[in-house]
Amino acid sequence: MIKRVTVCFISLAVLFISGCQEKEVQVAQTGAVEVETIEWKLVTSWPKNFPGLGMAPERFAKLVDEMSAGRLKIKVFGAGELMPAFEVFDAVSQGTVQMGHSAAYYWKGKTPAAQFFTSIPFGLNAQEMNGWLHYGGGLELWEEVYEPFGILPLAGGNTGVQMGGWFNKEINSMEDLKGLKMRLPGLGGEVLKRVGGVPVTLPGRELYTALQTGAIDATEWVGPFNDLAFGLHKAAKFYYYPGWHEPGTTLEFLMNKEAFAALPADLQSIVTIAARAINQDMLDEYTSKHIIALDSLIDEHGVILKQYPDEVMKKLAEVSKVVIKEQSAKDDTMTKVYKAYMEYEAGVRKYHKISEDAYSRLRE
């Protein structure tokens, strides 16, 4: 099990870098000492250097390199460079590469419980997910879910509450969702299917073409920051909110368990600390960049921002509860994760009603 990190990451990073600099000075004074350089490959489910999602693993690799004084070098490959986007899990599991960066709900066909570690409809937001994973037992459960595959998971970023999706028609009632072919992965897709829609799973780089050509009728991706970069506003004009299907989307770093175990203890700590720092850094970036991108979409590109009708949200929430409970009952591991998740969610909702939610109402 990966050791928990409960200290300030910036301070630790400085200490690591400072310590490495001191060692370099000592080496210069006493003579050259050969230091082993370990090289890892990290594959992602995102286009190379794509804003937000694609840059997180790049920043992670840079931070690890700096903190380890070059002892651990990680080369990042975007989706399609070494393998397709949805083969990341198998590549890490088989040891073809040492690491991956992706989203756990892509692996629902291998282990359905994985979906809880990305986001579920009407579930935890980013702040709540981080609390559950790092202090509420969630990460231990995640490790248990991936144990049969020889993979160790770490939270690898969060986008915050996502947008509800891009449509070429208005959504005024539940009838408008029937027959709708929409890119919607995870449990959100199961909910769409239950209300008569047709969920489709596609990698990000295929979304624009699929939407433009009519292969799909609608798509969700992330939010303004990434959606603008993909040019989705050129293929659809109605932009709906909120992202009921993914209220706090956690990304993941996947590590081959044997490769991680082979690292010296200090490098294991560096990898863990760097991942935790990047997890928070991504959320910080999205929170800021979404503001700028949304203004651009509306003011410069004429995108029509729409809120889902209350009737639609109420019905989707009802169906989501049923679908999640039914899906969880089909798999023992998923049942265990479901119970733990719901127990934590009940507690955090109770507290947030008198804290976060109460304050948000004051700002309206």
What residues are designated binding site for Na(+)? 221
**Residue 211 Cα distances to 80, 121, 201, 296, 316, angstroms:** 21, 23, 13, 21, 23
Distance CA 145, CA 254 (A): 12
Residues β-bridged to residue 192: none
First CA to last CA distance, the chain: 44
Binding-site sequence positions: 162, 183, 220-221, 246
Cβ of 273: how many Cβ atoms within 10 Å? 20
Instruction: Please tell me the distance from the alpha carbon of residue 167 to that of residue 192, in angstroms, as a whole number.
Output: 15
Residue 238 CA to residue 168 CA, distance in Å, equals: 6
SS3 2: coil
DSSP-assigned beta bridge partners for residue 42:
76, 99
Tokens of 359: 């304050």
Contact 17, 239 (CB under 8 A): no
Binding residues for substrate are 162, 183, 220, 246
Quickly count: other Cβ atoms within 10 Å of residue 330's Cβ: 9
